[in-house]
């Protein structure tokens, strides 16, 4: 490709992101004009890719920005969050599987911004190839490969079936190989898609040094460790358990990260940018606060919050609602069990994982990868391989750092014991999945735990996930035969429809 062509691609990408404030992630990112006038635009170009995670792609549609849709499309489709109001916002279609359509604005927006991130990453890779082979350039190139892999994996999880040997030849997503790959194109198979994601992450890890350059040491930048952590997630989705363990080991054994203690966990998410548990987050500043369009706005009840969703009774039951665990397990700090709201007959237990940074109800720096997930990825892999003791050791590592027994017993009372608790190869996976649900609630994992393990989605509680709910509960529970309460394992509705804008411009794409 000629240098002039590369320059035009860079300008095109800049035009695509300068409608947003590029002084966002990180705080010293440059504007588009500065990129074109500086002698070294690569760091700023890569930073623009991070900016797309939290900028408004359309100032007239402020609800449709990447991270808001990332968490809502995933978590509103699971069983951890209940809906107490049928909003005019398209977010309701995540709860109501039968209401989904390719025209929904949130579905279209998430797809489009994902491919902008991928395109920007490809432009950055091309630019890095032109620059040379120094440590910083290689690291930036590695970050670009990481961003490409992350965005591709996210759209794959939402818009394709889960990976399995039976599904390997099913449609995955469109793979964009380089900055010139922009024409209408068919969807790759799931096998090809996962090969592309894994290949991108391996390239990222090989390019980035374990000694992170001083310029890129913010938690807002990807690193070799981020690539390893994401590989543990991707291989878990693929069912390659030995590689899950290998990459999780690489992160854990690096000793670059440590779990928050039970004493500090209550302050973890407001301090995520500086925590030793965080592997990668999207740092927000006060000027980035999305207020009524924030991730927190629908699930919290503070200033600028709608407070229309909350933690489901199903999740609260798994967390030990009404037991000593409410006083012992510090993960209850992020659910207000004492002051629930009531909206349209639905009790709403408000969620604060995305709130209270810099004393704002709607501000946080969303955590995308953290050490606790890596331990739990490894625990699930061990469980699938029948390595019971190893799986429970990883689960207990999390629990030891989340429990303050106090007057309610000793730590051993709140840890699993294989013999005492009769944990076998038959039920160890259930133990791990329960711990994943509790630890990673609201962070974009539960839906995929259900899909990956071919489990049904059971939502036997009142709320607007039910197709016919009118705001008036008629009994203690609606029953699993209520429309929308039960989605069978492997139901095709777990997969979101391919967006209408893609279908209208790309006649090679097969719809879901």
- HSE, side-chain direction, 13 A CA sphere, residue 355: 21
Whether residue 24 is predicted with pLDDT greater than 50 in this model: the reply is no
The residue assigned the tokens 């994982």 is 353
Task: Summarize the confidence of residues 365-373 as an average pLDDT.
Answer: 98
Q: What is the DSSP letter of 329?
A: B
Q: Taking a C-beta distance cutoff of 8 angstroms, is the pair 44, 35 a contact?
A: yes
The per-type count for the chain, helices as H runs and strands as E runs, is 17, 8
Q: Which of 118, 116, 122, 131 has the alpha carbon at shortest distance from 42?
A: 131
Angle between helices 105-131 and 3-17 (to 10 degrees): 140
Q: Which helix (H) or strand (E) holds 95?
A: helix 92-95
> Could you read off the pLDDT of 274-301 as tens digits, one per residue?
999 999 999 999 999 999 999 999 999 9
Paired tokens of 34? 């500065």
Output the pTM of the full model: 0.94
* pLDDT score recorded for residue 58: 82
- HSE, side-chain direction, 13 A CA sphere, residue 356: 14
Q: Taking a C-beta distance cutoff of 8 angstroms, is the pair 113, 86 a contact?
A: no
Whether residue 15 is predicted with pLDDT greater than 60 in this model: the reply is no
β-sheet bridge partners, residue 171: 189
* pLDDT score recorded for residue 97: 97
Three-class SS of 119-133: HHHHHHHHHHHHHCC
> What is the spatial distance between Cα 362 and Cα 309, in angstroms, rounded to a whole number?
14
Q: What is the DSSP letter of 195?
A: H
> What is the spatial distance between Cα 332 and Cα 319, in angstroms, rounded to a whole number?
8
The residue assigned the tokens 């967390």 is 319
> Could you read off the pLDDT of 210-266 as tens digits, one per residue?
999 999 999 999 999 999 999 999 999 999 999 999 999 999 999 999 999 999 999
Q: Which helix (H) or strand (E) holds 83?
A: strand 81-83
> What is the spatial distance between Cα 315 and Cα 321, in angstroms, rounded to a whole number?
9
* pLDDT score recorded for residue 35: 39
> Could you read off the pLDDT of 89-134 as tens digits, one per residue?
899 999 999 999 999 999 999 999 999 999 999 999 999 999 888 9
User: Alpha helices of 270-348 — where are they, by DSSP H?
Assistant: 313-318, 325-328
Residue 473: is the preceding peptide bond cis (ω within 30°)? no
Average pLDDT along the chain: 93
Tell me the torsion sign for CA atoms 163, 169, 173, 177: positive
> Could you read off the pLDDT of 397-427 as tens digits, one per residue?
999 999 999 999 999 999 999 999 999 999 9
Task: Summarize the confidence of residues 129-158 as an average pLDDT.
Answer: 96
> Of the given ranges (52-61, 227-236, 328-337, 469-478), which has the lowest mean pLDDT?
52-61
The residue assigned the tokens 């590695």 is 142
């Amino acid at each position: 490709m000629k240098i002039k062509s590369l320059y035009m691609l860079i300008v095109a990408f800049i035009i695509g992101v300068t409608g947003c404030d590029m002084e966002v992630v990180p705080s010293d990112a440059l504007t588009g004009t500065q990129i074109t006038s500086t002698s070294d635009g690569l760091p700023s170009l890569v930073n623009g890719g991070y900016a797309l995670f939290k900028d408004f792609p359309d100032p007239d549609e402020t609800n449709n920005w990447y991270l808001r849709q990332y968490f809502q499309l995933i978590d509103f489709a699971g069983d951890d969050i209940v809906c107490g109001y049928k909003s005019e916002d398209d977010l309701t279609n995540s709860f109501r599987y039968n209401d989904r359509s390719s025209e929904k604005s949130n579905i279209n927006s998430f797809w489009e911004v994902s491919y902008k991130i991928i395109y920007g990453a490809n432009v950055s890779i091309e630019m890095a190839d032109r620059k040379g082979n120094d440590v910083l350039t290689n690291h930036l190139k590695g970050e670009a490969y990481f961003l490409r892999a992350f965005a591709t994996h996210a759209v794959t999880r939402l818009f394709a079936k889960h990976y399995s040997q039976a599904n390997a030849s099913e449609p995955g997503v469109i793979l964009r190989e380089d900055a010139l790959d922009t024409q209408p194109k068919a969807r790759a198979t799931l096998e090809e898609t996962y090969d592309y994601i894994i290949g991108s992450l391996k390239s990222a890890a090989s390019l980035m040094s374990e000694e992170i350059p001083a310029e890129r040491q913010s938690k807002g930048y990807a690193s070799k460790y981020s690539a390893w952590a994401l590989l543990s997630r991707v291989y878990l989705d693929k069912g390659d358990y030995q590689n899950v363990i290998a990459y999780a080991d690489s992160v854990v054994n690096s000793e670059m990260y440590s779990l928050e203690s039970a004493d500090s966990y209550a302050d973890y998410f407001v301090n995520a940018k500086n925590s030793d548990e965080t592997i990668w987050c999207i740092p927000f500043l006060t000027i980035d606060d999305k207020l009524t369009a924030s991730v927190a706005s629908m699930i919290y009840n503070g200033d600028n919050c709608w407070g229309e969703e909350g933690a489901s009774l199903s999740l609260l039951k798994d967390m030990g609602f009404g037991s000593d665990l409410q006083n012992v397990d510090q993960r209850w700090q992020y659910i207000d069990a004492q002051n629930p709201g009531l909206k349209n007959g639905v009790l709403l237990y408000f969620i604060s994982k995305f709130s209270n940074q810099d004393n704002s109800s709607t501000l946080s720096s969303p955590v995308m990868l953290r050490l606790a997930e890596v331990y739990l990825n490894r625990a699930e892999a061990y469980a699938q391989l029948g390595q019971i003791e190893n799986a429970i050791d990883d689960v207990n590592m999390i629990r030891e750092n989340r429990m303050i027994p106090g007057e309610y017993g000793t730590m051993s009372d709140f840890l699993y014991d294989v013999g005492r608790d009769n944990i076998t190869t038959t039920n160890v996976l259930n133990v791990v999945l329960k711990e994943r649900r509790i630890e990673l609630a609201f962070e974009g994992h539960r839906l995929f735990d259900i899909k990956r393990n071919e489990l049904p989605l059971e939502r036997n509680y009142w709320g607007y996930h039910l197709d016919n709910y009118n705001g008036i509960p008629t009994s203690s529970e609606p029953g699993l035969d209520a429309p929308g309460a039960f989605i069978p394992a492997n139901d095709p509705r777990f997969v979101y429809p391919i967006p209408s804008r893609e279908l209208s411009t790309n006649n090679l794409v097969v719809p879901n």
